[in-house]
Structure 1
Amino acid sequence: MKHLTYIIFLFTLSIFSQETIEAALIKKTWLDAEHLVSVNNFGTTFYVNNNILHKTQEDKTLTYSNLQLGNLSSANTFNPLKINLFYKDFNTLIILDNRLSEIFKIDFNAISNYKNVSHTSTGHDNTVWIFNQDNQKLELFDYKSKTSRAHAQPIQSEVLDLKSNFNYCWLLTKNQLYTYNYFGSLIKNINNDNYTSIAVDNENLILKKDNTLFYLNKNDKQPVRILLPNLIINQFFVINETLYIYSQKTLYEFHLKIT
């Protein structure tokens, strides 16, 4: 009987031991940016000011701008050798190398199989994930061959965010959060409880609801709230359990205490 009581205690503890996740402040840094894109483990910071992408490291700054394409809608630096810039107004994707030199330009209006793209994110090899608004499908697009390697089933709700790494892609819609592998096959989906944006840490996710962040382990279906000080969260991302939050010209760096 004692053994049974002990097992029940451990099982209960495993369920309720981490109802929230603590975030310990490591440091904060002043940064004047309209939009923070990312910070990597080598101290390189990517941000946007006046529609210009900046890359800074050790007081050295590189910039890229393309005023002919209008406003920069999104920037993805997951692969620093193939940085993705998407200009939604002109339905055009630019690929940059690590010196912010242009290496590919994909005008989705000009390809034979026209695509009306709303969201993009980095894929493996020479691919990008795109969401095609016309057929409401997620596609893995090869920008060298200008063909789609994979198509997912049509999505019936509004797309809010799209993130990826080399192996998986996460599509956040108003109703669902979908997880796909690099073949475009759906492997998991959960209901969206009013989350509006996501960030990826390996295969785990950070989700934002209002001004609160939640952690979703890759093996779980229920996100856990992250305990944070009262900050206005302008942008956020995570690298190896280190959470970065950009708030009103200050970059906060937190260590997530994940058990």
Structure 2
Amino acid sequence: MKKTFLLFFILFIAVSYGQDKIFVATKLDSTALVADNFMGYDQFGFYYSIKNNVLSKRKKDESFEYKNISLGRPTKIDVQNPLKIMLFYENFNTIILLDNQLSETQKINLSENDVPIMATATGIASQNRLWIYNSLTQQIGLFDYLKNVFQSITPSISGSIKYYQSDFNTFQWIDNNLNWYSCDVFGKISSLGKVAFFDQIQIASNQYIIFLKEGKLYVQDLKNKTISPIENVEKSFKNFYYKDQILSIFTNQGISNYKISIP
């Protein structure tokens, strides 16, 4: 079954896309890290990771930790704003906001909201708001965490979310049929194309994605319909993270950072 699926994946690439380019990564440095998962880094050079349900923020000799015994392991961690870090605990329908020292500033139990909410996707948005996908209505909305007000901004979305990623102004998701969509803060939904089969994935821009399949990293250009391999990176790793032309590979030994030029 696995060989059949791999053959289908290779044929999909060969028929649907070109492969006339190879992305060669240049190794910059390595950092030792013992963790279960690497979550990314911020503009101040702090690395975020999870080990035994504890969120750690580290840089050289400076470190902070956050653990919530009653909620357990967070489902999603958003570190795009180092002054307002978001932890989402899907099993408890709860969001925790932390400051830059990982001290808890706000706990939001969405089950107590006046508007019924069952969140399955969340993220930091602009203007003191959070992105929320409400599975009860299958709508994307914005939650003002200062006023405790939630507003849906889209009609119901067909299909389920396989992967999602957000920034201050957009919420992007890939559904189970591998269709890629983007929604802005006004509720406008755009279709960005169809992505390749993946084991792990990260959206690099509105045109490019990086994905892992069968232990190999690729860059998919949806505008020009190409899928290109990434060479000169670790062959075995737990997960990867891409930001500002830096590809970070997390292995059992730590983090290896590579320079890679994706337009």
The two structures share one fold, judged by TM-score above 0.5: yes
Aligned partner of 1:186: which letter?
I
Could you say which residue in structure 1 is the equivalent of 2:97? Answer: 95
Does the C-alpha gap of structure 1 residues 220 and 80 become closer, same or farther in structure 2, counting only changes over 3 Å?
Answer: farther
Quote the offset at 1:255 in angstroms. Answer: 0.9
Secondary structure of 2:158 counterpart: coil
Quote the offset at 1:141 in angstroms. Answer: 2.1
Aligned partner of 1:237: which letter?
Y
Indicate if the aligned counterparts of 2:165 and 2:171 stay in contact, CA closer than 8 A: yes
Matched, 1:189 2:178: no
Aligned partner of 1:249: which letter?
Q
Summarize deviations over 1:156-213 as a string: whole Å, max 9, x none: 3231222111222211221111112222211233123223543344655433334333
Q: What is the CA–CA distance in structure 1 between the aligned matches of 2:154 and 2:225, rounded to whole Å?
A: 21
If the length of structure 2 is used for normalisation, what is the TM-score? Answer: 0.82
Quote the offset at 1:44 in angstroms. Answer: 0.8
Quote the offset at 1:228 in angstroms. Answer: 4.5
Indicate if the aligned counterparts of 1:164 and 1:200 stay in contact, CA closer than 8 A: no
Could you say which residue in structure 2 is the equivalent of 1:28? Answer: 30
Matched, 1:211 2:211: no
- 1:241 equivalent among 218, 241, 245: 245
Q: What is the CA–CA distance in structure 2 between the aligned matches of 1:92 and 1:154, rounded to whole Å?
A: 22
Aligned partner of 1:141: which letter?
F
Aligned partner of 2:257: which letter?
E
Q: What is the CA–CA distance in structure 1 between the aligned matches of 2:238 and 2:19, rounded to whole Å?
A: 30
Q: Which runs of 5+ in 1 are unaligned?
A: 1-14
Does the C-alpha gap of structure 1 residues 228 and 159 become closer, same or farther in structure 2, counting only changes over 3 Å?
Answer: farther
Could you say which residue in structure 1 is the equivalent of 2:153? Answer: 151
Quote the offset at 1:41 in angstroms. Answer: 4.2
If the length of structure 1 is used for normalisation, what is the TM-score? Answer: 0.83
- 2:202 equivalent among 187, 199, 205: 199
Q: What is the CA–CA distance in structure 2 between the aligned matches of 1:23 and 1:107, rounded to whole Å?
A: 43
Could you say which residue in structure 1 is the equivalent of 2:259? Answer: 255
Matched, 1:180 2:183: yes
Q: What is the CA–CA distance in structure 1 between the aligned matches of 2:221 and 2:170, rounded to whole Å?
A: 14
Aligned partner of 1:145: which letter?
K
Summarize deviations over 1:62-97 as a string: whole Å, max 9, x none: 111111113221211011111010111111000111
Indicate if the aligned counterparts of 1:121 and 1:162 stay in contact, CA closer than 8 A: no
Does the C-alpha gap of structure 1 residues 23 and 30 become closer, same or farther in structure 2, counting only changes over 3 Å?
Answer: same
Indicate if the aligned counterparts of 2:242 and 2:248 stay in contact, CA closer than 8 A: yes
- 1:75 equivalent among 50, 56, 77: 77
For the pair shown, which has the larger CA radius of gyration, 1 or 2? 1
Aligned partner of 1:87: which letter?
Y
Runs of 4+ residues over 6 Å off in structure 1: none
Quote the offset at 1:53 in angstroms. Answer: 0.7
Quote the offset at 1:31 in angstroms. Answer: 0.9
Moved more, 221-230 or 20-29: 221-230
Indicate if the aligned counterparts of 2:27 and 2:259 stay in contact, CA closer than 8 A: yes
Indicate if the aligned counterparts of 1:23 and 1:227 stay in contact, CA closer than 8 A: yes
Quote the offset at 1:219 in angstroms. Answer: 5.5
Does the C-alpha gap of structure 1 residues 17 and 215 become closer, same or farther in structure 2, counting only changes over 3 Å?
Answer: closer
Quote the offset at 1:233 in angstroms. Answer: 3.5
Q: What is the CA–CA distance in structure 2 between the aligned matches of 1:149 and 1:216, rounded to whole Å?
A: 34
Aligned partner of 1:213: which letter?
L
Secondary structure of 1:67 counterpart: coil
Aligned partner of 1:246: which letter?
F
* Percentage of matched positions with identical amino acids: 26
RMSD: 2.5
Indicate if the aligned counterparts of 1:179 and 1:188 stay in contact, CA closer than 8 A: yes
Q: What is the CA–CA distance in structure 1 between the aligned matches of 2:172 and 2:247, rounded to whole Å?
A: 19
Does the C-alpha gap of structure 1 residues 112 and 258 become closer, same or farther in structure 2, counting only changes over 3 Å?
Answer: closer
Indicate if the aligned counterparts of 1:167 and 1:181 stay in contact, CA closer than 8 A: yes
Summarize deviations over 1:128-161 as a string: whole Å, max 9, x none: 2122222222222222223334422333323122
